[in-house]
Amino acid sequence: MGELTRDQALQKLRKNEKLDRADLRGIDLSRASMPGAALSRADLEGANLEAVVLRKATLKNASLREAYLVGSDLQEANLENADLEGAKLDRANLSRANLARANLDGASLAGANLSGALLSFAQVSAANLTGADLRHAVLTHANFEESALGAVKAMEADMRAVNLRGAILTKADFTGAKVAGLIGTGAPLGDVLVAWLDTSEAGDGTGRITNGEIPGLLSGLRRPAAAATAPASRRYFGRGDVLKNATLDFDGGARVEIDSLFENCAINVGDGTELVIGEAGVLADCTISGAGMITVHGHFFERESPGIVGPRELVVSSGGAVVASVLQNDSLTRFAFERGSRLRVKIVK
Amino acid sequence: MSEKKTLIEEGTELKGTLTSTCPIVVQGRVEGELSGPSVEVADSGVLSGKAKVTELRSRGEIAGEFDAKVVELSGRVRDKTIIRAESLEVSLRRSEGRIEMVFGDCELAVGDAPDKAKAVAAARGNGHGRGKPAAEPEQQPPAQDQNGVQ
């Protein structure tokens, strides 16, 4: 056991004393509130820190091997280079925490909140992150070999140069993640939920790939097409322009924004194409077909029913208006309607 | 003091007409007509039939015909459902990869009817004064064709 008891440790913290380098092995600090605690290089191996509040605490280079941190609050904590091997962090809140170069090998992080966290160069092999929230996390050069990443939400995470060899990705959502230099799983993927990925080296969104190429990239079994690193196709139709009786086809992964007036037009979009009808955009007597992601800030009026066919996503913002029948995508369309949107919509399966 | 609510608990099935002056919370199953200031359908709740309320919030399952000022949905809307509302809110949320909101075949009439003629005229006006040629004015479509969903 360590040199301090629970009461002694908490008393020191209450007096704002630092516990840097303290020997706290095996201590029971469960449910204690210690926001902002100074615990750099502290030895907390095997400690019981269940539901502890260590928000904004400094745990840089601390040893938390095999520590029990289930349900703990570590928001914005500094765990840089900390040793968390085998630690139990299920449902812990690590939002915006610094875990750069931390050792999380064999750790359990099921359902943990790691949104916005920094895990660059972290070791996370053979770890369980099932259902964890990794949205907007920075994971560059992290090693997730043999880890369970099923059902993780890693939308718009920075996964450049991440190692996923042997990882399980079933039902994971990496939509919008930056993946240049990523090392794939080395095995066929299960069911992953990814609309598009950014393969640009700078991670600036200019290298979009969509459905067909995603499994190959995440598995590492097939390189993405050469075009994958080319800038995503972008189209903008400006205010004041009028387009009539036209048929427009946009490849998967393109981004199309319309602030013009389209009349009697047919728009065909590829998988994952983002089609945005801007505030000034009006599509009158038009049709939109394909598994795109449609956002309506302006107006859409169908030509014939169904006027919108098979979208993956249909979002109508507070200023948007849609008059149409919507034939849902085979895997069901995701709908979002903001308060203030005006709708005369028939949804058909 | 907490607000009084009419609660249909999980495991309870109610068939018929329910009128309440209190907010109604449906955790069980209600089949029939319902009216009150507000209805909240919990995750476990099923409401089928007709409801005329000020506010309808559902995380459960609804089917039938609903008239409300404010509607918030995040559960399931079954086939043959009609929702008429001044405002509707459906969030694009996903948990563990599944779709949070599932729509069956249904009709949504929300807010004022969008006016196609007005929108087209405004869009034509957008080009004026910006060096772009304004399009030729065209004959407007007949009023009865403007807003109907086929």
Question: Looking at residue B2, what is its pLDDT?
Answer: 57
Picking from A171, A271, A156, the residue whose alpha carbon sits closest to that of residue A211 is: A271
Contact flag B110-A325 (C-beta cutoff 8 Å): no
B136 inside domain: no
B147 inside domain: no
CA distance B88 to chain A (A): 5
DSSP structure string for A20-85: TT-B-TT-B-TT-B-TT-B-TT-B-TT-B-TT-B-TT-B-TT-B-TT-B-TT-B-TT-B-TT-B-T
For the stretch A20-29, contacts whose Cβ atoms lie closer than 8 Å and that sit 24 or more positions apart, written own/partner, are A25/A1, A26/A1, A26/A2, A27/A1, A27/A2
Question: Looking at residue A221, what is its pLDDT?
Answer: 62
Spatial contact of B81 and B108, defined as CB atoms under 8 Å apart: no
Q: What percent of chain B lies above the pLDDT cut of 90? A: 67
Nearest to A341 among B88, B91, B120 (CB): B88
Q: Which tokens is A260 given?
A: 């013009």
ipTM value, please give it: 0.82
Picking from B131, B77, B115, B121, the residue whose alpha carbon sits closest to that of residue B99 is: B77
B134 inside domain: no
Q: Which tokens is A159 given?
A: 């996964």
Query: Using CA atoms, how far apart are residues B44 and B48, in angstroms rounded to an integer?
Result: 13
What is the tens place of the pLDDT at every residue in B70-99? 999 988 999 999 999 999 998 765 444 444
Tell me which residue has tokens 């506010």: B55
Q: What per-residue string of b and e applies to B23-41 under the rule 16 or more CB within 10 Å gives b? A: bbbbbbbbeeebbbebbbb
Number of domains making up chain B: 1
Question: Looking at residue B56, what is its pLDDT?
Answer: 95
Q: In terms of C-beta density within 10 A (0-12 exposed, 13-18 middle, 19 or more buried), how is residue A107 classed? A: buried
B26 inside domain: yes
Q: By the CB < 8 Å criterion, does B91 face chain A?
A: yes
Q: By the CB < 8 Å criterion, does B88 face chain A?
A: yes
Picking from A208, A154, A152, the residue whose alpha carbon sits closest to that of residue A180 is: A208
Place B135 in a pLDDT band, splitting at 50, 70 and 90: very low
Instruction: Give the residue-averaged pLDDT of B102-111.
Output: 94
Question: Looking at residue A212, what is its pLDDT?
Answer: 65
Question: Looking at residue B127, what is its pLDDT?
Answer: 54
Question: Looking at residue A117, what is its pLDDT?
Answer: 96
Contact flag B97-A280 (C-beta cutoff 8 Å): no
Q: Along chain A (349 residues), what's the average pLDDT of each consecutive run of 10 residues?
A: 83 89 93 94 94 95 95 96 95 95 95 95 94 94 92 92 89 89 80 80 78 75 46 75 88 85 92 89 95 93 94 91 95 88 95
Spatial contact of A280 and A259, defined as CB atoms under 8 Å apart: yes
Q: By the CB < 8 Å criterion, does B43 face chain A?
A: no
B145 inside domain: no
If DSSP codes are grouped into helix, strand and coil, which group holds residue A148?
Answer: strand
Q: Which tokens is B19 given?
A: 């009128």
Pick B7 or A220 by higher pLDDT.
B7
* Chain A residues closer than 8 Å to B112 by CB: 342
Contact flag A173-B87 (C-beta cutoff 8 Å): no
* Chain A residues closer than 8 Å to B146 by CB: 301
Q: What domain range includes position B104?
A: 6-123
B148 inside domain: no
B130 inside domain: no
